[in-house]
Structures are given as structure tokens and as C-alpha cells.
Amino acid sequence: MARYRGDVEAVKALVRETEVHRDVYIDEEVFALEMEHVFGNTWVYVGHDSQVANPGDYFGTTIGTQPVLMVRHSDGTVRVLHNRCPHKGTRITTETYGNTGKFFRCPYHAWSFRTDGSLLAIPLREGYDNTGLEQSHAAQGMSAVRHVHNYRGFVFAKLNDTGPSFDEFFGESLSSFDNLIDRSPVGRLEVAGGVLRYMHDCNWKMLVENQTDTCHPMIAHASSAGTAIDVWKNAPAGAKKPMAVEIFAPFMSSYEFFEKMGIKVWPNGHGYTGVHHSIHSDYSAIPGYFEKMVEAYGEKRAKAILGENRHNTVYFPNLMIKGPIQLIRVFKPLAADKTLVESWTFRLVGAPDVLLERTLVYNRLINAPTSVVGHDDLEMYERAQEGLHVDANQWVNIQRLYDASEVPDATAVTNGTTEWQMRNQFRAWSKFMTMSM
Amino acid sequence: MTPPTDQDLIDFVLRETRLIDQHRFGEWLDLFADDGVYWMPLEWGQTDPRMTASLMYEDKLLLKIRVERLKGNRTFSQKPKSRCHHLLQTPQIEKRDDGANQYVTWTPMHYVETRLDRQDIYAAWATHTLAVIDGGLKIKLKRVDIVNCDAAFGNIQLFM
């Protein structure tokens, strides 16, 4: 029996000012509605255009649970197509990457489609003469996603016609992308190093919330980061601190450190930790990098770019990016209790290789299925996914540093241990979930 | 000093996984040379551990952090503890070079890791690069290639 479909009031009642009902994490009907509405009405990250450098290059991924292809069309623009043949539904490509040449060709009956999705040819076409094929769904070819935006290489798509424009949706929050991209002396990134894929038996939103949860590292990661610090204490005097210890140690920073690092919230559920400093602030300088940045931007601007040490920027609904470490994490929803986390790394074009090397060390130590920090976090998510089935209390608390004067879609900088960004995400969730119901 | 026999190399590899299965991680760590590395590639046929991501690429310091963490009272992902089981084919001698003090074995294996009601099974090949140091064999490099290395995995918490 449907409890939420078509019932705006019931959906809205799931999100209160300082708590949310467990059904947003465990209910499959709510999950299905999220896929239609939250992942339909917002701009969802698809991929980076360096993954499809040449005409005909494609990259297979998902928007919510919908399989799509990001493809470089013959006119040089990046298109996003639904990955099914309009004839019988056959998936057109199953490889993640490839080059399809001038057209896609279905392996079942050889219907072919231009790289903008339009129907090119059907074998034995006269079989459709006078059948009215022109009026069919099939004649449209591979359905193209109508709303696609390429922001300095990062490609987003919006499945529904409802929802805000790209600029309205992201607004000033794009400054985190700018800072990441500007760290390349030529202002360009390339996907590099491979993607880590980590399966989580929990709801996708737990991961998104964790990105700005600054009261957990010193507790949940005491086992990994804390142990790293302890083991390093026994190193011989004068030994050079390895990159790995430099990466682990700041996870054990004090509450005061995280309070002072600050959190900024933006409209539509975006926000970031690390306004004033972050766990990435004290990494060693990379020889030769600053000089290249000064050459490209001048000293003042180079210092301003590298002086930003934003920690995690959350882009609602399911993306997190880092600037000082060139990586992004995509939280791909598979079911109410299943999420695939993809952690992608980037090369700063024109910068020393050591930066990519450090980013890869970070990704491996923190985001791999073999990562001890990952084990710490996943244990907490999976315990929550189970614990939420307790009927005695059906609410999750997001009250920390709540202020009754807090308004939806505010832009504000506040204490780094606030849960305002989580409330911000849920206010956005409520808005996008119900705007087309 | 007498070079190791083929049987010595085989026995070493068998004992190495036995120490893991029996949670004798301290003794296991002692099998690594001071500059020894444990490598689990992410890509099929991967050649570069530096500019390509790996699942693990760990020196002795990082391995020690793992071993200490497994013992920790606040290691909640190990409450209860994981268990594991290696099923090996007989290690094959891939290379022996007494002059260069380098010995390489290749061992197909199945690895099972369990925790609570969950059991995960992996098929892999282990390649050991060994050397005689201070009169005993030590691991210079243990490379584990999982057959589906590029698949999405849940937690892998112990050592293959």
C-alpha cells in the first residue's frame, strides 16, 4: 500500500526542523520517490569531459538509478543519452568507456543512432513504411537528456523539466569548483589514476551527511588515525614524516579545531566544511608547484587560490568535492539500503605529478574498500541502517547548534561543528521531493 | 650460505598465509623485509603503483598500523572480529636468481573473509618476491591480483 506516493503532506512530514523520520533512510517507496523527484528535479553530476575527450568517446554511468551515456557529439559538445535502444530496450553499451565512432549501433537488430541520440538508420526500413513509425517513441532514437550543463569540464544533467536552472541551482557554491580547477596552472583538470568503487549496505544520504559531520572523526577514526599517530611516535628521531601519516593525523584534531574551521551553507542543500582552515591545511609544499602557479596567475592570486583549504564541499544531492586534494566522491543510490561510492581523482594539468600521487595516496588510505578509515565509517553507517528499524524511536536527530531563526536556503558561515548543513540538505530534499508531486 | 631450495620457498608461502588465518599478525609482519611492500592492484595487469590507484600499496609502517588497529579496543568494525581462510594451489617457482638473491613464486588462491553472518569469497593470484636476509627468507613484495580487481567491493579488513 502506498503511504507516500502522491501525498505531499506525508512526504513533508518526514522532515522536521531538527529531526527526520527514519523512513527517509529505510523505506523503499520513499527511495523510489527520491529517484523520480530528488534525482529528477536537481542537477546531478554525470562525469568530467576529459573522460570523453574525442568525438564518439562515451562514458557509461547513472543518474539516480537511470543508466545513461555521456558522449562527445560530432559537434564537440557533450551529450547525455539514456542507455537503451528505443526498439526493444537493449542496453546499447555495457563497457564503461569506449569510442563509438560517428554513431551508436544496437548489437541486437543494428538500429543506429547519431551521437546526439537521433535515429540514423534501421535495416530493412521498408518494413516500417506506412506503419506510422514517425509517431512512435522508437522514432525519437535514444532519448537524450534535455538539460545538460558543462561547467568548466564538470558535466551535470537534470532529468525533469521542472526544477531550477543550472545557475539558480548552484549559485555561489560553484566557487568550490573554481578553486579546485584554478589549482591547475592552466585551469584544466583530467580524470586520472582510476576510480575506487566501494559498496555500502546503507542509505546514500548517510554518506552525504557524513561529509560535513565534524564531531565523528576523533571518535570513529581513533582506531585508524589514532593508531597511525601512536605507531609514528615510535619512529626513529629525525625520520621524515611520511605522506600517509601527514594524511591520517589531522583526523584526530580536537573539537576546538573543527569548531573553528567553520561551515558554510548555501541555498539548495549545498555547503562546505573548512571555511577558515581544514585537515588539509598543513600538508607539505610540493616543490616547483607554487612557482608554476605564480607564473600563471601572479603571486597575489596564486596565494589566494592556494590559501583556500576547503575540506568537503557537498553538492546536493549526491556529490562531494575536495580542492586541496583533487578528488570527488559520488554517492550512487542503488536501493534504500545500498549505495555505491565512487571516488575519482584528477590530475591538475600543468602541475607536478606529485600532486596526483598525493591525491592517490589519500584516496587509497581513506576511500578504498581496503581502507581502515573507510572501515570505521561503514561500520557506523551499517549499524545505523540496522538500528533505524527500532520502532521505539523513529526519528534521527540533526539538532546540533540549531537556531530557530535559521531559514531555508540561507547563505551563512557558522561554527564548524553545526549540523546546519544536514538540516540544509533535508530542507532541499523536502523542496525537490515535493515540487513536482 | 646455502640458497633456499624450491621447497623452502613453497613452505614459506604456505606458512605466510597460515599466520594470517591464525591471526598471528605480529609474526606475519616479521616476515616482511624492512623495505618490504604489500601491493593489491586496482587495475587488471597494473604496472604502476604510484600514478595509478591501488587497493593497497603499503610499506611496513602502514601494515603495522593495520595490525595494531586490529587489536584496538575502539576498533568498532572489528567487534566482532573478522576471520579469514586461504585455500592455495601449490606455489609455483616463477624465478630463482641466487646471484641477485631474488626468488619469485606464483600462487593461485581463494580467500574467504567472514564477519557476523556475512561471508565474502575472492579468487586471486599471489606473487611473492623473496630474498634471504640475515639467514632467513623475507618478503620484498607480496602482490595480490584479485580476479575481479576492478569490481565494487564491500569491506576487505584482513590480508589476502
Return the pLDDT at A2. 87
**In the beta sheet, which residues pair with residue A164?**
none
Q: Is B100 part of a structural domain of the chain?
A: yes
Residue A19 belongs to what H/E stretch?
strand A19-21
Which A-chain residues 56-95 have CB contacts (< 8 A) with chain B? Answer: none
Assess A163–B contact: CB distance below 8 Å, yes or no.
Answer: no
Express each pLDDT in B101-147 by its tens digit.
999 999 999 999 999 999 999 999 999 999 999 999 999 999 999 99
Express each pLDDT in A297-318 by its tens digit.
999 999 999 999 999 999 999 9
Q: Is B156 part of a structural domain of the chain?
A: no
Q: Which residue stretches of chain A have pLDDT < 50?
A: none
Strands (DSSP E) contained in B47-148 are 54-58, 83-88, 92-97, 102-115, 118-133, 136-146
Return the pLDDT at A318. 98
Assess A230–B contact: CB distance below 8 Å, yes or no.
Answer: yes
Mean pLDDT computed over every residue of chain B: 97
Helix orientation angle between A372-387 and A353-367, rounded to the nearest 10 degrees? 40
Return the pLDDT at B1. 64
The neighbour count for residue B30, using CB atoms within 10 Å, is 13
| The three grid cell numbers given for residue A109, joined into one nine-digit string | 537488430
What's the rounded Cα separation, in Å, for the pair A231 and A411?
42
Sheet with A103-105, edge to edge strand ranges: A103-105, A112-114, A119-121
Q: How far is CA B127 from CA B9, B105, B137, in A?
A: 12, 6, 15
Return the pLDDT at A91. 97
> Chain B contacts of A379, Cβ < 8 Å?
76-77
Q: Is B20 part of a structural domain of the chain?
A: yes
Return the pLDDT at B28. 98
Instruction: State whether ipTM is beyond 0.95.
Output: yes
**CATH number where B130 lies:** 3.10.450.50
* Domain count along chain B: 1
What's the rounded Cα separation, in Å, for the pair A209 and A173?
17
Give every CB contact of residue A283 below 8 A, 6+ residues apart in sequence.
A246, A247, A324, A358
% of chain B at pLDDT higher than 70: 99
Residue A163 phi, psi (nearest 5): 100, 160
Return the pLDDT at A48. 98
B2: confidence class by pLDDT, cuts 50, 70, 90: confident
Assess A12–B contact: CB distance below 8 Å, yes or no.
Answer: no
Domains in chain A: ranges and CATH: 44-151 (2.102.10.10), 193-434 (3.90.380.10)
Mean pLDDT computed over every residue of chain A: 97
Give every CB contact of residue A220 below 8 A, 6+ residues apart in sequence.
A376, A377, A379, A380, B76
Q: How many Cα atoms are found within 13 Å in the side-chain-facing hemisphere of B21?
A: 13
Return the pLDDT at A56. 98
User: What is the sign, positive or negative, of the torsion defined by CA atoms of A174, A357, A232, A238?
Assistant: negative
Of A244, A357, A365, the CB nearest to B50: A357
Contact (Cβ atoms closer than 8 angstroms) between residue A276 and residue A260: yes
| The three grid cell numbers given for residue A437, joined into one nine-digit string | 508531486
Which A-chain residues 13-52 have CB contacts (< 8 A) with chain B? Answer: none
- Across residues B36-51, what is the average pLDDT? 97
Shortest Cα distance, chain B CAs vs residue A11, angstroms: 31
| The three grid cell numbers given for residue B30, joined into one nine-digit string | 616479521
Question: Cα–Cα–Cα angle for A277, A279, A282, nearest 5°?
Answer: 80
Interface test with B, best of A375, A380, A383, A386 (most B CBs within 10 A): A375
What's the rounded Cα separation, in Å, for the pair A185 and A4?
50
Q: Supply the range of the domain harboring residue B31.
A: 6-146
Assess A372–B contact: CB distance below 8 Å, yes or no.
Answer: yes
What's the rounded Cα separation, in Å, for the pair B55 and B159?
12
Q: Is B151 part of a structural domain of the chain?
A: no
What is the pTM for the complete model shown?
0.97
User: What is the sign, positive or negative, of the torsion defined by CA atoms of B90, B91, B95, B101?
Assistant: negative
Inter-chain touch B40–A231, beta carbons under 8 Å: no
In chain A, the residue whose alpha carbon lies closest to the alpha carbon of B155 is A369
> Chain B contacts of A220, Cβ < 8 Å?
76
Express each pLDDT in A72-108 by its tens digit.
999 999 999 999 999 999 999 999 999 999 999 999 9
Inter-chain touch A228–B65, beta carbons under 8 Å: yes
Distance of CA B75 to the CA centre of its chain: 22
What's the rounded Cα separation, in Å, for the pair A416 and A260?
6
Collapsing DSSP to helix, strand or coil, A278 comes out as coil
Q: Is B160 part of a structural domain of the chain?
A: no
Q: Is B1 part of a structural domain of the chain?
A: no
Burial A169-182 (b: 16+ CB within 10 A, else e): bbbebbbbbebbbb
Contact (Cβ atoms closer than 8 angstroms) between residue A221 and residue A252: yes
Residue with cell 625520520: A239
What's the rounded Cα separation, in Å, for the pair A362 and A346?
12
Residue B30 phi, psi (nearest 5): -65, -15
